[in-house]
Amino acid sequence: MEFEFNVVTVAFFVFSFITLAGGYAVVTAKNLFRGTIWLMMSLFGVSGLYLTLSAPFLAAVQILVYIGAIAILFTFAVMLTRSLTNLRDLYVRPQINLVGAVLLFVLIVVGVILPLFAANPQPPVSDEVIRTVDLGVALASGNGFVIPFEVASLLLTAAMIGAIVIARDTDDLV
């Protein structure tokens, strides 16, 4: 388990801390509006983790789609509903759920990650990475991901229409 201390490692620890602290603050936030801000912070940390994994396109998409669209959507949902006034009763059965989550984490780490990936020596990581252009080509080429790509666009259209129909006030229909 060789370990070199360089700028990528430092960035990994910083962004991991941002991600996990933000996630912890999301699930413990009393005020849900602050919860959405913490969610943005956690998503930003994940974006930084993508950068350390040399996936800059995914990092940019993470900031655009997650922070720019999804987190803003959550902010609007918090403000449209009465989530800020009823702050009592934050949790349902918190103790047993906390025990379950901690057990899940221990099970994944001890049962899967440490024996499979940390014990054996890993092959050296290559410095060669595909470019973003290759992703674009794969998404549009016939022997790549063109069918899932089209299905994804159809899914987004269906989700958008469905969201409008579900959230519309029924009085508008008359």
Residue 85 touches another protein, criterion: CB under 8 A: no
Phi, psi of 83, rounded to the nearest 5 degrees: -85, -15
Q: Least separation, in Å, of the C-beta of 159 and another protein?
A: 4
Q: Which residue from 16, 37, 60, 63 is in contact with another protein, where contact means CB under 8 A?
A: 16
- The answer to whether residue 42 forms part of the interface with another protein (CB under 8 A) is yes
Residue 31 · residue 87 · CB < 8 Å: yes
Judge whether 49 and 19 are in contact, CB under 8 Å.
yes
Interacting residues with another protein between 20 and 39 (CB under 8 A): 20, 23-24, 26-27, 29, 32, 35-36, 39
Answer for the pair 81, 40: CB distance below 8 angstroms, yes or no: no
CA distance 152 to 168: 24
Residues of this chain, 87-106, that bind another protein according to CB under 8 A: 89-94, 97-98, 100-102, 104-105
Work out which of 34, 60, 63, 83 binds another protein, going by CB under 8 A: 83
Interaction between residue 54 and another protein (CB under 8 A): yes
**Of 125-164, which residues contact another protein (CB under 8 A)?**
125-126, 128-130, 134-135, 138-139, 144-145, 148, 152, 155-156, 158-160, 162-164
Q: Do residues 33 and 79 touch, judged by C-beta distance below 8 A?
A: yes
Residue 109 touching another protein (CB under 8 A): yes
DSSP 170: G
Q: Is 78 exposed, middle or buried (0-12, 13-18, 19+ CB in 10 A)?
A: middle
H-helix or E-strand spanning residue 44: helix 32-52
| Residue 77 interacting with another protein (CB under 8 A) | yes
Q: Kindly state the number of chain residues that form the binding site for another protein, as judged by CB under 8 A.
A: 88
Q: Which of 85, 143, 167, 173 binds another protein (CB under 8 A)?
A: 167
SS3 31: coil
Q: Which of 14, 56, 118, 140 binds another protein (CB under 8 A)?
A: 118
